Chains A and B, each alone.
Chain A
C-alpha cells in the first residue's frame, strides 16, 4: 500500500491567457501552441514541470481545447521529453473565460488532492520547483492559513516587459505584505507603500527588481478561496484580495525567490517573446536550449559558434548566418541574404539579398528577394513578396500574403477579413492592403481581456506592446501628478524633502485626516500638531508651511468626489478652519501659507485648475489678507511661475481694484 500513501505531485497549467497581446496570431490558434524558438510554449511549461518531478498535470484550456488535446496526443506519440513519468489531462471549455473560472472549475471537480504547482502555459523556466514545494509544505504545517507561495525571480531593473513587481516581504517568515505591478515602459519615480506594512512588522524587505514568472505553489485552500470569492478573476485579484482581507479570509501568501542560477520568465507579449527567445538562444535557460533536444527525442540542431543553431536539413551557407540564429530543417536561404538574431521555422524559404534582423519566422514562410525585415513575427504559411520593408514590431498572421514593395511599421496583418473575433459580434471593417492582407487595429478603448490594462497609462489608447530594441533605455516619468491618479491607493506627489520634515508632514496629514473624519475638537488637533512639531524640532515657519500643505494633502482633497475640489476644500476648511487659523495669524505666516499653496499647485492638477478660486476662497474666509496675496504675487518668479501668475493675474487685479474702491470710499467718507 506504500504507493497509495505517497503523495502525487500535481500541477495545473493555465493555457490561453494573454490572448489580446498576441493578436493577430492568437485569433488563429491557441497562444499556448505558439512556437518559441521552434518549440511550442506549452512544451516548455510541461518540460519544466517534468523536470521538477511532477507526476500529474492538468492543462486548462478554454478557446482551443481540441488543438491542445491533439498536441498532447501527438507529443506522447513522438516521445516528447515531458511524456515520461507524467500524465497530462486537458480540461476546460468555452465556459471558463479567465483564470478565476479555471480555479473554480478545478475546485468543483475536486481533482486536486494536495498542494499543487500552478503555472501559466507561457512560462519558460529551468528551475527545479521541488525545494519551493518543500518550503510551501513546511510553511503549511506551521501556518494553517497558508494559501499560496508565489515564486519570483530577481531581474535587472533596466528592462520592463510588464511582468515586474514590487513586493514587501517579512524577512523572518517570507510572508507577502504588499504587491504591486510595475509599469511597462517607464520607471516609476516613486512608490507608494501603505504605512501599515511597516507599522505591523519589524522586519520588512522591499523588492523592486523582481520578475513574476507566473509560478506559484497553491494549497488546496487556494481553490476554495476562489470559489468563495467569485469576483477573483486573475491571480493578481487573488493576491490583492487576500492582502486586503487578510484577517477576514484567514489566509496568507508567502514568497519564494529562485536562486540566481535558475532562469524563469513569462512570455505574455511580443517584447517578452523577443527577450525570452534571445535568452534561450544565448543559453540562459540551459538545458532548455535548441541543441539539447528539448522536445523531440532526437537532437535537431548542431551548435556552431556565435550561437548559431543549424539543423542538418537546412540549406544555408555559413556566411548568411551572423549570430544568434536558429534555423530548422527544410529551410532554404538563397545567396546574398544575411540573417541575425532570428528564428527560422521549418521549411521556410528566404530569397536573395534579404536582410533579416530580430525576425521570427514560423513554419512554411516564404520571403522573396530583396526584402528587409526587422523586429517582426511572421505566422505560419505567410508569404512576403519582393522588395518589402517590414519593421518595428509588425506581426503578420498565418497565410497572409504581402504584396510586393509594401512598407509596414507597427502594423498587425491578418489573412482574412473575418477572422477577427469581436465580442459584440459586430463585423469589423478591416483596411485592406492586398487580397490576403488586412490590417488589424490593435487599439482599444476598453480593458483588454486580462487586467494588464492598469499597467498602461489610461490617457493613451491601449495598444499591443510591440517588439523593439531591447537595449533602449526606459523613459523616466517626469514629476507630473496626473500620472499617479490611476493608482488605487492614491499616490501623492511629494517633492523630495529632508526626512524629518517629511515625517512631520505625514504625521500632520494623519492627524488632520483623522480629525476631519471624526470631527474632533480642533484644540486637540492643535495639541497633536504641536507635539509633533517639538518631536521633529520644526521651526514656526515650517509648521505653518506644512500645516497648510497637510490640509491640501488630505485624501479627500487629493481625490475629491466628482473631481470637485472646491467643495472638498470648503468642507475641509469648515472643519479644520480653527486649526489653520491658529497657525496663520500674522502677515508672515500668511505668506508661508501661500507658499505652501504654491507647492500644492505644482503637485495637484485639480488645485492647479482652480487656483484662483482657492486663493479667493481663502481671502473670503479671512485666512489670508489682501496684502499677503499681493506680496506673494510680487515674489513669484516671472518665468518659473508664468502659468501661476497668469491664473492669479485676474484675482490680483480685482483685489487692487476693490482696495482702491475701498480707499475711494474712505475718501468719500472723509
Chain B
C-alpha cells in the first residue's frame, strides 16, 4: 500500500518544481525541516514506525524529483541516526538490567551493537528516543549550516598568491571559497567559464568582480581547453558525488576535467557531505536531465522543425579525472568516497 504524502512534502516538491526553492543547500535544509517535523510529531510510537514514515516520504520525494539526490541523502542520515540512538538507548537499558552499571565500556558497546546488528527489533518502544533524536538532529543542522564555512576555511590551504584558477558556472560553495581566497591571497586571476546556455558564470563573475585585488576573466565554454595550459588549479562545485567518486556536475564539467587531465592541472571539487550519494551510474538515459530546447536554437528557425534538440543539464565526470574532494570535514581522494559513505549511512539504508 502506498503511503500518503505529507502536506509539507507535497509543498516542498511543488516549490522545487516551480523553482521557488533552488540550490542543494536550501533543498537539504527544507528536507531536514520536514524530517524534524516528522520526528517531533506524535504519529510514531517506536523506532520502526518512525523509520517507515521516513522511508515512505523519502520514496515519494524520490519519485517526484529523481534528480535531487540530496533529499534521499538526508533521509538516510535520519535513518542512521534513528538506528544509532535506538541501539544506544537499547544498550543502556540492557546494561541497567544486566549489571546495573551506569557507564558502559567501549568494548561492550562495540560488541553489543555488532551482535545486535543481526536482529534488532526496532519496534520495541524506547523511552527518551524522541528527545535523543532531536538533540542529535540539532548537531546535523549545525553541521549543515557550517558546512559552507568549513569548506571556505580550507581555501588558504589550496589557493596561493598569484595563481590562476579556473571555475565553471556558478556554484555557491565555489563563490564563497573564492571570495575567501581573494581576501587572503594577492594577485589571483580567476577564469570563469560561462557555462552556456544558462550562462550562470556571468553571475559568478559579477559577484566576484566586487572584490579587490583580483582579475576576473569570463570565457566561453569553447575556450576552456585553450585557457587550460595557463591554469594552476581547477575548482568546481558539483550537483552530487556518486558512490564511485564520480561527479554529476553541471554540463561542461567533463570538458573542464578532460582539459585539466590533458594539461595535468589538479581538479578540486567542493562537495559538502550532504552531496555524497550511495548511487552508481548505471542507466545513462535516466542519469541526465534535459532542459528547454529554446535555449539551444530559436523556435522559429527552420531547422528547428526537424531537429532533435538536447540541452542536457549534467555531465558525468569519472573519478579518475578528480584530484581531490574538499568537504566540510577536510580533503578526500575520490577512492576514499566509499569509506565516507559507510561512515555516513547505514548499509541497510543504501536502498530505501
Residue numbers of A with Cβ under 8 A of B are 50-51, 79, 81, 84-85, 154-156, 158, 260-261, 263, 279, 282-284, 286-287, 291-293, 297-299, 302-307, 323-324, 470-471
* CB atoms of A154 and B300 under 8 A apart: yes
B333 within 8 A of A: no
In the complex, which residues 217-270 of chain B have their Cβ closer than 8 Å to any Cβ of chain A?
none
Across the A-B interface, the 5 shortest Cβ-Cβ residue pairs: A286-B292, A298-B63, A84-B14, A156-B300, A283-B293
Interface mask (B307-328 → A, CB under 8 Å = 1, otherwise 0): 0111100000000000000000
Give the distance in Å from the alpha carbon of A156 to the alpha carbon of B288 in the complex: 31
Identity of the chain A residue whose Cβ is nearest the Cβ of B15 in the assembled complex: A84
Q: If A323-B308, A471-B305 touch, does A297 touch B299 (CB 8 Å cutoff)?
A: no
- Which residues does chain B contribute within 8 Å of A307, judged by CB atoms? 308
B10 within 8 A of A: yes
- CB proximity of A260 to chain B, nearest CB, Å: 6
* CB atoms of B14 and A260 under 8 A apart: no
Q: If A286-B293, A297-B10 touch, does A155 touch B64 (CB 8 Å cutoff)?
A: no
B271 within 8 A of A: no
* CB atoms of A282 and B18 under 8 A apart: no
- Which residues does chain B contribute within 8 Å of A263, judged by CB atoms? 294, 299
Give the distance in Å from the alpha carbon of A260 to the alpha carbon of B295 in the complex: 10
* CB atoms of A293 and B299 under 8 A apart: no
- CB proximity of B295 to chain A, nearest CB, Å: 7
* CB atoms of A470 and B64 under 8 A apart: no
- Which residues does chain B contribute within 8 Å of A261, judged by CB atoms? 292, 294-295
Identity of the chain A residue whose Cβ is nearest the Cβ of B295 in the assembled complex: A261
10 contacts between A and B (CB under 8 A): A81-B18, A84-B11, A158-B302, A279-B299, A283-B309, A291-B290, A299-B66, A302-B286, A303-B285, A303-B288
- Which residues does chain B contribute within 8 Å of A292, judged by CB atoms? 17
Identity of the chain B residue whose Cβ is nearest the Cβ of A470 in the assembled complex: B305
Q: Tell me which of A51, A154, A279, A297 has the highest count of chain B C-beta atoms within 10 A of its own C-beta.
A: A297
Give the distance in Å from the alpha carbon of A298 to the alpha carbon of B62 in the complex: 8
Q: If A81-B17, A297-B63, A307-B308 touch, does A260 touch B299 (CB 8 Å cutoff)?
A: yes
Identity of the chain A residue whose Cβ is nearest the Cβ of B293 in the assembled complex: A283
Give the distance in Å from the alpha carbon of A81 to the alpha carbon of B17 in the complex: 9
* CB atoms of A304 and B285 under 8 A apart: yes
- CB proximity of B141 to chain A, nearest CB, Å: 26
Q: How many residues of chain B are within 8 Å of chain A by beta carbon?
A: 33
- Which residues does chain B contribute within 8 Å of A156, judged by CB atoms? 299-300, 302
Identity of the chain A residue whose Cβ is nearest the Cβ of B61 in the assembled complex: A297
Number of A-B contacts (CB under 8 A): 81
CB < 8 Å neighbour of A297 from B5, B288, B302, B306? B5
Identity of the chain A residue whose Cβ is nearest the Cβ of B299 in the assembled complex: A284
* CB atoms of A297 and B294 under 8 A apart: no
B23 within 8 A of A: no
- Which residues does chain A contribute within 8 Å of B63, judged by CB atoms? 297-299
B298 within 8 A of A: yes
CB < 8 Å neighbour of A260 from B290, B291, B298, B308? B298
B51 within 8 A of A: no
Identity of the chain B residue whose Cβ is nearest the Cβ of A126 in the assembled complex: B292
- Which residues does chain B contribute within 8 Å of A158, judged by CB atoms? 302
Q: If A284-B292, A298-B64 touch, does A306 touch B286 (CB 8 Å cutoff)?
A: no
B60 within 8 A of A: yes
B13 within 8 A of A: yes
* CB atoms of B300 and A293 under 8 A apart: no
- CB proximity of B4 to chain A, nearest CB, Å: 9
CB < 8 Å neighbour of A293 from B5, B17, B308? B17
Identity of the chain B residue whose Cβ is nearest the Cβ of A262 in the assembled complex: B294
- Which residues does chain B contribute within 8 Å of A283, judged by CB atoms? 290-293, 309, 311
- CB proximity of B5 to chain A, nearest CB, Å: 7
Interface mask (B14-50 → A, CB under 8 Å = 1, otherwise 0): 1001100000000000000000000000000000000
Given A260-B298, A282-B308, 11 other A-B residues pairs in contact with their CB atoms under 8 A? A50-B18, A156-B302, A261-B295, A279-B299, A283-B290, A286-B291, A298-B63, A299-B65, A303-B290, A305-B310, A470-B305
Give the distance in Å from the alpha carbon of A279 to the alpha carbon of B305 in the complex: 9
- Which residues does chain A contribute within 8 Å of B299, judged by CB atoms? 155-156, 260, 263, 279, 284
- CB proximity of A166 to chain B, nearest CB, Å: 17
Identity of the chain A residue whose Cβ is nearest the Cβ of B64 in the assembled complex: A297
Identity of the chain B residue whose Cβ is nearest the Cβ of A471 in the assembled complex: B305
- Which residues does chain A contribute within 8 Å of B292, judged by CB atoms? 261, 283-284, 286-287
Give the distance in Å from the alpha carbon of A138 to the alpha carbon of B225 in the complex: 49
Q: If A282-B308, A282-B309, A307-B308 touch, does A302 touch B295 (CB 8 Å cutoff)?
A: no
* CB atoms of B18 and A286 under 8 A apart: no
Identity of the chain B residue whose Cβ is nearest the Cβ of A278 in the assembled complex: B305
- Which residues does chain B contribute within 8 Å of A84, judged by CB atoms? 10-11, 14
Identity of the chain B residue whose Cβ is nearest the Cβ of A79 in the assembled complex: B10
Q: If A282-B309, A283-B293, A323-B308 touch, does A155 touch B300 (CB 8 Å cutoff)?
A: yes
- CB proximity of B291 to chain A, nearest CB, Å: 6
Identity of the chain A residue whose Cβ is nearest the Cβ of B285 in the assembled complex: A304
- Which residues does chain B contribute within 8 Å of A303, judged by CB atoms? 285-286, 288-290
- Which residues does chain B contribute within 8 Å of A50, judged by CB atoms? 18
Give the distance in Å from the alpha carbon of A282 to the alpha carbon of B289 in the complex: 14
- Which residues does chain B contribute within 8 Å of A297, judged by CB atoms? 5, 10, 13, 60, 63-64
- Which residues does chain A contribute within 8 Å of B18, judged by CB atoms? 50-51, 81
